[in-house]
Amino acid sequence: MNHEDPVLLHTEGRIRHLTLNRPRALNALNHTMVLRMAEALDAAERDDSVAAVLLTGAGERGLCAGGDIRAIRDDALAGGGTALDFWRDEYRLNARIARFSKPYVAIMDGIVMGGGVGVSAHGSIRIVTERSRIAMPETGIGFVPDVGGTYLLGRAPGELGTHLALTGAAVGAADALLCGLADHFVPSRELPGLIAALDLCTTPSDVAAAVRRYAGTATGGELAAQRGWIGPCYGAGTVEEIVERLGDCGEPAAKEAAATILAKSPTALKVTLEAVRRARSLDRLEAVLDQEFRVSSTAFTRPDLVEGVRAQIVDKDRNPRWDPAALTEVTDADVERFFAPLGDGELGLDAPAAP
Protein backbone atom coordinates (compact mmCIF):
# COMPACT_ATOMS: atom_id res chain seq x y z
CA MET A 1 0.00 0.00 0.00
CA ASN A 2 1.42 3.37 -1.11
CA HIS A 3 0.58 5.85 1.64
CA GLU A 4 0.76 8.69 -0.90
CA ASP A 5 -2.16 7.32 -2.89
CA PRO A 6 -5.29 9.53 -2.70
CA VAL A 7 -7.37 6.43 -1.94
CA LEU A 8 -5.80 3.78 0.28
CA LEU A 9 -6.98 0.19 -0.18
CA HIS A 10 -6.36 -2.73 2.09
CA THR A 11 -8.19 -5.79 3.37
CA GLU A 12 -8.62 -6.95 6.95
CA GLY A 13 -10.24 -10.35 7.19
CA ARG A 14 -13.17 -10.09 4.78
CA ILE A 15 -13.53 -6.30 4.95
CA ARG A 16 -12.17 -4.16 2.11
CA HIS A 17 -11.09 -0.78 3.50
CA LEU A 18 -11.27 2.35 1.33
CA THR A 19 -9.66 5.41 2.93
CA LEU A 20 -9.87 8.83 1.29
CA ASN A 21 -6.33 10.11 1.68
CA ARG A 22 -5.96 13.82 1.04
CA PRO A 23 -6.13 15.01 4.66
CA ARG A 24 -4.53 18.41 3.97
CA ALA A 25 -7.36 19.08 1.50
CA LEU A 26 -9.91 17.59 3.90
CA ASN A 27 -10.04 14.60 1.55
CA ALA A 28 -11.65 16.63 -1.23
CA LEU A 29 -12.44 14.41 -4.20
CA ASN A 30 -10.64 14.65 -7.50
CA HIS A 31 -11.12 12.61 -10.65
CA THR A 32 -8.39 10.12 -9.78
CA MET A 33 -10.07 9.37 -6.46
CA VAL A 34 -13.45 8.81 -8.08
CA LEU A 35 -12.01 6.40 -10.63
CA ARG A 36 -10.00 4.58 -7.95
CA MET A 37 -13.10 4.12 -5.81
CA ALA A 38 -15.12 2.82 -8.75
CA GLU A 39 -12.40 0.29 -9.61
CA ALA A 40 -12.18 -0.79 -5.98
CA LEU A 41 -15.94 -1.38 -5.75
CA ASP A 42 -15.93 -3.40 -8.96
CA ALA A 43 -13.10 -5.54 -7.62
CA ALA A 44 -14.75 -5.96 -4.22
CA GLU A 45 -18.04 -7.01 -5.75
CA ARG A 46 -16.34 -9.68 -7.87
CA ASP A 47 -14.24 -10.98 -4.99
CA ASP A 48 -16.13 -13.63 -3.03
CA SER A 49 -13.66 -13.26 -0.15
CA VAL A 50 -14.90 -9.69 0.47
CA ALA A 51 -17.98 -9.50 2.70
CA ALA A 52 -18.27 -5.71 2.95
CA VAL A 53 -16.61 -2.39 2.14
CA LEU A 54 -15.71 0.20 4.78
CA LEU A 55 -15.20 3.86 3.81
CA THR A 56 -13.25 6.23 6.08
CA GLY A 57 -11.31 9.46 5.72
CA ALA A 58 -7.68 10.08 6.62
CA GLY A 59 -6.88 12.70 9.25
CA GLU A 60 -8.87 14.04 12.15
CA ARG A 61 -11.07 16.64 10.48
CA GLY A 62 -13.58 14.73 8.42
CA LEU A 63 -14.51 12.14 5.84
CA CYS A 64 -14.61 14.48 2.84
CA ALA A 65 -15.25 18.20 2.35
CA GLY A 66 -16.58 17.74 -1.19
CA GLY A 67 -15.18 17.98 -4.68
CA ASP A 68 -12.11 19.95 -5.66
CA ILE A 69 -14.04 23.09 -6.52
CA ARG A 70 -10.94 25.22 -7.03
CA ALA A 71 -9.95 22.91 -9.90
CA ILE A 72 -13.50 23.12 -11.28
CA ARG A 73 -13.29 26.92 -11.26
CA ASP A 74 -9.93 26.85 -13.01
CA ASP A 75 -11.39 24.58 -15.67
CA ALA A 76 -14.37 26.89 -16.18
CA LEU A 77 -12.11 29.93 -16.53
CA ALA A 78 -10.00 28.09 -19.09
CA GLY A 79 -13.08 27.12 -21.10
CA GLY A 80 -12.35 23.44 -20.56
CA GLY A 81 -14.54 20.43 -20.00
CA THR A 82 -12.66 18.27 -17.54
CA ALA A 83 -15.15 19.20 -14.81
CA LEU A 84 -17.93 17.62 -16.84
CA ASP A 85 -15.87 14.45 -17.21
CA PHE A 86 -15.31 14.46 -13.44
CA TRP A 87 -19.01 14.91 -12.68
CA ARG A 88 -19.97 12.21 -15.17
CA ASP A 89 -17.78 9.65 -13.40
CA GLU A 90 -18.62 10.97 -9.92
CA TYR A 91 -22.36 10.62 -10.46
CA ARG A 92 -21.86 7.14 -11.87
CA LEU A 93 -19.95 6.31 -8.68
CA ASN A 94 -22.81 7.66 -6.56
CA ALA A 95 -25.24 5.34 -8.35
CA ARG A 96 -22.74 2.48 -8.07
CA ILE A 97 -22.57 2.92 -4.30
CA ALA A 98 -26.37 2.94 -3.99
CA ARG A 99 -26.64 -0.34 -5.96
CA PHE A 100 -23.62 -2.06 -4.39
CA SER A 101 -24.62 -5.64 -3.61
CA LYS A 102 -22.60 -5.99 -0.38
CA PRO A 103 -22.73 -3.87 2.77
CA TYR A 104 -21.14 -0.48 2.16
CA VAL A 105 -20.31 1.02 5.54
CA ALA A 106 -19.53 4.75 5.53
CA ILE A 107 -18.14 6.37 8.67
CA MET A 108 -19.31 9.98 8.33
CA ASP A 109 -17.15 11.37 11.10
CA GLY A 110 -16.29 15.08 11.10
CA ILE A 111 -16.94 17.22 8.02
CA VAL A 112 -18.99 15.56 5.27
CA MET A 113 -20.06 17.98 2.57
CA GLY A 114 -21.05 17.98 -1.08
CA GLY A 115 -19.20 15.17 -2.83
CA GLY A 116 -18.48 13.65 0.58
CA VAL A 117 -22.22 13.14 1.01
CA GLY A 118 -22.29 11.52 -2.42
CA VAL A 119 -19.76 8.83 -1.52
CA SER A 120 -21.30 8.10 1.88
CA ALA A 121 -25.02 8.84 2.16
CA HIS A 122 -25.97 6.49 -0.69
CA GLY A 123 -24.36 3.59 1.17
CA SER A 124 -26.32 0.86 2.91
CA ILE A 125 -24.90 1.50 6.42
CA ARG A 126 -24.18 5.16 7.24
CA ILE A 127 -22.63 6.02 10.59
CA VAL A 128 -22.43 9.48 12.18
CA THR A 129 -20.71 10.65 15.35
CA GLU A 130 -20.97 13.65 17.66
CA ARG A 131 -18.34 15.31 15.45
CA SER A 132 -20.30 14.92 12.21
CA ARG A 133 -21.18 18.07 10.30
CA ILE A 134 -23.09 17.19 7.15
CA ALA A 135 -24.11 19.71 4.52
CA MET A 136 -24.89 20.40 0.89
CA PRO A 137 -23.59 24.00 0.80
CA GLU A 138 -23.62 24.50 -2.98
CA THR A 139 -25.88 27.56 -3.17
CA GLY A 140 -23.12 29.54 -1.41
CA ILE A 141 -20.76 29.02 -4.33
CA GLY A 142 -23.30 29.63 -7.09
CA PHE A 143 -23.90 25.92 -7.64
CA VAL A 144 -26.76 23.48 -6.98
CA PRO A 145 -26.79 20.35 -4.76
CA ASP A 146 -25.63 17.40 -6.83
CA VAL A 147 -24.14 13.87 -6.28
CA GLY A 148 -27.70 12.72 -5.61
CA GLY A 149 -28.14 15.42 -2.98
CA THR A 150 -31.46 16.58 -4.38
CA TYR A 151 -32.66 12.96 -4.26
CA LEU A 152 -31.71 12.67 -0.57
CA LEU A 153 -33.00 16.10 0.44
CA GLY A 154 -36.19 15.70 -1.56
CA ARG A 155 -37.00 12.64 0.54
CA ALA A 156 -36.31 14.20 3.94
CA PRO A 157 -39.43 14.62 6.13
CA GLY A 158 -41.65 17.55 5.24
CA GLU A 159 -39.67 20.54 4.04
CA LEU A 160 -36.50 19.84 6.03
CA GLY A 161 -34.61 19.02 2.85
CA THR A 162 -35.70 22.26 1.21
CA HIS A 163 -34.42 24.18 4.22
CA LEU A 164 -31.04 22.45 4.08
CA ALA A 165 -30.77 22.79 0.31
CA LEU A 166 -31.45 26.53 0.21
CA THR A 167 -29.50 27.57 3.31
CA GLY A 168 -26.65 25.09 2.90
CA ALA A 169 -26.80 24.60 6.66
CA ALA A 170 -24.68 21.88 8.24
CA VAL A 171 -26.39 19.40 10.55
CA GLY A 172 -25.12 17.17 13.33
CA ALA A 173 -25.76 13.51 13.98
CA ALA A 174 -29.32 13.70 15.33
CA ASP A 175 -30.55 15.90 12.50
CA ALA A 176 -28.75 13.80 9.90
CA LEU A 177 -30.61 10.76 11.23
CA LEU A 178 -33.91 12.65 11.21
CA CYS A 179 -33.39 13.73 7.60
CA GLY A 180 -32.48 10.25 6.39
CA LEU A 181 -28.86 11.11 5.64
CA ALA A 182 -27.53 8.53 8.11
CA ASP A 183 -28.62 5.32 9.83
CA HIS A 184 -26.68 4.94 13.09
CA PHE A 185 -24.95 7.06 15.71
CA VAL A 186 -21.68 5.77 17.14
CA PRO A 187 -19.63 7.94 19.55
CA SER A 188 -16.26 8.79 18.01
CA ARG A 189 -14.42 7.18 20.91
CA GLU A 190 -16.03 3.87 19.92
CA LEU A 191 -14.92 3.97 16.28
CA PRO A 192 -11.66 2.02 16.79
CA GLY A 193 -13.60 -0.74 18.54
CA LEU A 194 -16.26 -0.75 15.84
CA ILE A 195 -13.70 -1.00 13.06
CA ALA A 196 -11.92 -3.83 14.87
CA ALA A 197 -15.26 -5.62 15.26
CA LEU A 198 -16.08 -5.13 11.58
CA ASP A 199 -12.72 -6.64 10.61
CA LEU A 200 -13.80 -9.87 12.33
CA CYS A 201 -17.07 -10.08 10.39
CA THR A 202 -17.51 -12.81 7.82
CA THR A 203 -21.07 -12.21 6.58
CA PRO A 204 -23.32 -9.21 5.85
CA SER A 205 -25.45 -10.08 8.88
CA ASP A 206 -22.30 -10.01 11.03
CA VAL A 207 -21.60 -6.50 9.76
CA ALA A 208 -25.08 -5.26 10.61
CA ALA A 209 -24.92 -6.84 14.06
CA ALA A 210 -21.52 -5.31 14.80
CA VAL A 211 -22.80 -1.83 13.98
CA ARG A 212 -25.88 -2.32 16.15
CA ARG A 213 -23.70 -3.34 19.10
CA TYR A 214 -21.82 -0.04 18.98
CA ALA A 215 -24.75 2.22 18.04
CA GLY A 216 -26.17 4.65 20.56
CA THR A 217 -28.63 7.52 20.72
CA ALA A 218 -27.74 10.85 19.16
CA THR A 219 -28.70 14.00 21.06
CA GLY A 220 -28.60 17.71 20.35
CA GLY A 221 -30.82 17.80 17.28
CA GLU A 222 -32.46 21.10 16.36
CA LEU A 223 -34.65 20.44 13.34
CA ALA A 224 -37.40 18.40 15.00
CA ALA A 225 -38.33 21.38 17.17
CA GLN A 226 -38.23 23.72 14.15
CA ARG A 227 -40.55 21.78 11.88
CA GLY A 228 -43.46 23.94 13.06
CA TRP A 229 -42.12 26.89 11.07
CA ILE A 230 -39.98 25.09 8.51
CA GLY A 231 -42.95 23.30 6.96
CA PRO A 232 -45.23 26.31 6.41
CA CYS A 233 -42.40 28.63 5.33
CA TYR A 234 -40.67 26.33 2.89
CA GLY A 235 -43.93 25.03 1.49
CA ALA A 236 -44.28 28.26 -0.48
CA GLY A 237 -44.17 28.17 -4.26
CA THR A 238 -41.18 30.44 -4.86
CA VAL A 239 -37.94 31.39 -3.16
CA GLU A 240 -39.19 34.95 -2.81
CA GLU A 241 -42.26 33.78 -0.93
CA ILE A 242 -40.19 31.43 1.23
CA VAL A 243 -37.96 34.31 2.28
CA GLU A 244 -41.00 36.49 2.98
CA ARG A 245 -42.64 33.83 5.13
CA LEU A 246 -39.41 33.21 7.04
CA GLY A 247 -39.11 36.90 7.79
CA ASP A 248 -42.73 37.22 8.88
CA CYS A 249 -43.16 34.10 11.00
CA GLY A 250 -41.72 35.60 14.19
CA GLU A 251 -39.13 32.92 14.92
CA PRO A 252 -35.57 34.22 15.33
CA ALA A 253 -34.17 31.09 13.68
CA ALA A 254 -36.46 31.65 10.70
CA LYS A 255 -35.24 35.23 10.30
CA GLU A 256 -31.67 33.94 10.42
CA ALA A 257 -32.52 31.42 7.71
CA ALA A 258 -33.97 34.20 5.55
CA ALA A 259 -30.79 36.26 5.91
CA THR A 260 -28.67 33.21 5.10
CA ILE A 261 -30.68 32.48 1.96
CA LEU A 262 -30.46 36.06 0.72
CA ALA A 263 -26.67 35.88 0.79
CA LYS A 264 -26.66 32.95 -1.68
CA SER A 265 -26.69 33.03 -5.47
CA PRO A 266 -30.20 34.01 -6.60
CA THR A 267 -29.94 31.80 -9.67
CA ALA A 268 -28.65 28.84 -7.67
CA LEU A 269 -31.46 29.27 -5.14
CA LYS A 270 -34.21 29.19 -7.73
CA VAL A 271 -32.69 26.27 -9.61
CA THR A 272 -32.16 24.39 -6.33
CA LEU A 273 -35.79 24.77 -5.26
CA GLU A 274 -36.93 23.51 -8.65
CA ALA A 275 -34.41 20.65 -8.61
CA VAL A 276 -35.45 19.39 -5.18
CA ARG A 277 -39.13 19.51 -6.11
CA ARG A 278 -38.59 17.73 -9.40
CA ALA A 279 -36.45 15.12 -7.64
CA ARG A 280 -39.40 14.22 -5.42
CA SER A 281 -41.36 13.09 -8.46
CA LEU A 282 -38.54 10.93 -9.84
CA ASP A 283 -38.60 7.35 -8.58
CA ARG A 284 -34.98 6.39 -9.10
CA LEU A 285 -31.70 7.88 -7.97
CA GLU A 286 -30.38 7.38 -11.50
CA ALA A 287 -33.08 9.64 -12.93
CA VAL A 288 -32.22 12.34 -10.38
CA LEU A 289 -28.51 12.06 -11.19
CA ASP A 290 -29.33 12.49 -14.87
CA GLN A 291 -31.24 15.64 -13.94
CA GLU A 292 -28.40 16.88 -11.75
CA PHE A 293 -25.92 16.40 -14.58
CA ARG A 294 -28.02 18.65 -16.81
CA VAL A 295 -28.12 21.25 -14.05
CA SER A 296 -24.40 21.02 -13.29
CA SER A 297 -23.47 21.21 -16.96
CA THR A 298 -25.38 24.47 -17.31
CA ALA A 299 -24.10 25.87 -14.00
CA PHE A 300 -20.56 25.24 -15.25
CA THR A 301 -21.14 27.80 -18.02
CA ARG A 302 -22.72 30.44 -15.78
CA PRO A 303 -20.83 33.24 -14.01
CA ASP A 304 -22.01 32.52 -10.46
CA LEU A 305 -20.01 29.30 -10.02
CA VAL A 306 -16.72 30.98 -10.90
CA GLU A 307 -17.58 33.98 -8.73
CA GLY A 308 -18.81 31.94 -5.80
CA VAL A 309 -15.67 29.83 -5.63
CA ARG A 310 -13.56 32.97 -5.96
CA ALA A 311 -15.30 34.63 -3.03
CA GLN A 312 -15.37 31.59 -0.74
CA ILE A 313 -12.23 29.65 -1.62
CA VAL A 314 -9.76 31.69 -3.69
CA ASP A 315 -9.86 35.28 -2.43
CA LYS A 316 -11.93 34.42 0.66
CA ASP A 317 -13.44 37.89 0.80
CA ARG A 318 -16.90 36.32 1.35
CA ASN A 319 -18.36 39.02 -0.89
CA PRO A 320 -19.61 37.38 -4.08
CA ARG A 321 -21.06 39.56 -6.81
CA TRP A 322 -23.88 37.43 -8.14
CA ASP A 323 -25.20 37.84 -11.68
CA PRO A 324 -28.14 38.41 -11.60
CA ALA A 325 -27.91 40.01 -8.19
CA ALA A 326 -31.55 39.71 -7.10
CA LEU A 327 -34.11 36.92 -6.98
CA THR A 328 -36.59 39.01 -8.94
CA GLU A 329 -34.15 39.19 -11.84
CA VAL A 330 -34.05 35.39 -12.27
CA THR A 331 -36.88 34.40 -14.60
CA ASP A 332 -38.69 31.10 -14.97
CA ALA A 333 -37.06 30.77 -18.38
CA ASP A 334 -33.64 31.21 -16.80
CA VAL A 335 -34.40 28.35 -14.42
CA GLU A 336 -35.84 26.10 -17.12
CA ARG A 337 -32.60 26.28 -19.14
CA PHE A 338 -30.82 24.33 -16.42
CA PHE A 339 -33.12 21.35 -16.99
CA ALA A 340 -32.94 21.28 -20.79
CA PRO A 341 -31.87 17.97 -22.36
CA LEU A 342 -28.21 17.71 -23.34
CA GLY A 343 -28.68 15.55 -26.43
CA ASP A 344 -25.62 13.37 -26.94
CA GLY A 345 -24.14 14.85 -23.76
CA GLU A 346 -26.67 13.24 -21.43
CA LEU A 347 -25.38 11.23 -18.50
CA GLY A 348 -27.84 8.47 -19.38
CA LEU A 349 -27.84 6.55 -16.10
CA ASP A 350 -31.59 6.06 -16.24
CA ALA A 351 -31.67 5.12 -19.93
CA PRO A 352 -33.95 2.17 -20.74
CA ALA A 353 -32.20 -1.15 -21.02
CA ALA A 354 -31.44 -2.40 -24.50
CA PRO A 355 -33.91 -5.03 -25.78
- Length of the chain measured in residues: 355
Helices 252-262, 223-234: crossing angle, 10 deg rounding: 60
Is 67 in the active site? yes
Backbone angles phi, psi at 193, to 5 degrees: -65, -40
Q: Which residue is catalytic, options 68, 75, 109, 146?
A: 146
Q: Which residue is catalytic, options 68, 90, 109, 138?
A: 138
Is 79 in the active site? no
Is 231 in the active site? no
Nearest to residue 75, comparing CAs of 134, 31, 27, 25? 31
**Spatial strand order in the sheet of 15-20:** 7-12, 15-20, 52-57, 104-108, 125-128, 184-185
Pairing of strands 15-20, 7-12: antiparallel
Cis ω on the peptide bond leading into residue 232 (within 30° of 0)?
no
Q: Which residue is catalytic, options 62, 66, 67, 148?
A: 67
The C-alpha atoms of residue 334 and residue 231 are separated, in whole angstroms, by 27
C-alpha distances in Å from residue 1, one per residue of 10, 22, 195: 7, 15, 19
Backbone angles phi, psi at 2, to 5 degrees: -85, 115
Q: Which residue is catalytic, options 115, 123, 142, 148?
A: 115
Is 115 in the active site? yes
Catalytic residues: 67, 115, 138, 146
